[in-house]
Structure 1
């Protein structure tokens, strides 16, 4: 294969690699929430909400304490919120994407990178 053909194939290969990476990042943004349920309590001192977690199909997996990381995305009723978690959220449903480990306490605790409250 001549050097001219090799050089002309390089942009095509780069384009295909770029498109493949772009599709993967879009798929990651559509990932299902890790925690989904009703906010049942608020702990002001730690800035956490207790969510009665339900897995897919309505199977209960138990409550979990959730706090937000510093730069977490908090969306309340479709709008990006600038306020922190508070007691007015009790009784509302929430979808949560976690960004780390779940502490094996009772109930478990974790931090969220994104929380959508309906």
Structure 2
């Protein structure tokens, strides 16, 4: 293969790799939350909320304590929050993305990398 062909093929391969990575990162941003449900309780000492976890198909999988990672993204009513979790969030619905493991305690415990909390719904 001539040098000219090699010079053409190399940038083409780099372009394909770059496009492939861009699609993958876009898909990751659209990933469904790992935990979804109503915030039932707040533990001030540990800064955790207890969420009654419900999966997409409506099957309850039980409560889970959620803490925020130090670099976690917290969004409350569409605004990025700078404050920590507190008792005013009890009763609101939440969606949580986790970045690690879930401790098999009772109830389960995990850390969130992103948490979206929706406004209170009027009954």
- Per the normalisation by structure 2, the TM-score is 0.94
Any residues of structure 2 matched to 1:13-24 within 5 Å, and which?
13-24=13-24
Aligned to 2:44: 44
Residue 52 of structure 1 aligns to a residue in which SS?
A: strand
Structure 2: state its 5+ residue gaps: 119-123
Aligned to 1:82: 82
SS at match of 1:57: coil
CA RMSD of aligned residues (A): 0.6
* Cα deviation, residue 53, structure 1: 0.1
Q: Could you tell me the TM-score, scaled by structure 1's length?
A: 0.98
Q: Take 1:103 and 1:13, find their aligned partners in 2: how far apart are those partners?
A: 42
Determine helix, strand or coil for the equivalent of 2:102: coil
The 2-side partners of 1:16 and 1:34 are apart by 31
- Report 1:1-118 matches (<5 A): 1-118=1-118
Distance between the aligned counterparts of 1:98 and 1:8, measured in 2? 42
**Partner Cα separation in structure 2 for residue 27 and residue 74 of structure 1:** 20
Q: Deviations over 1:23-44 (max 9, x none)?
A: 0011011100000000000000
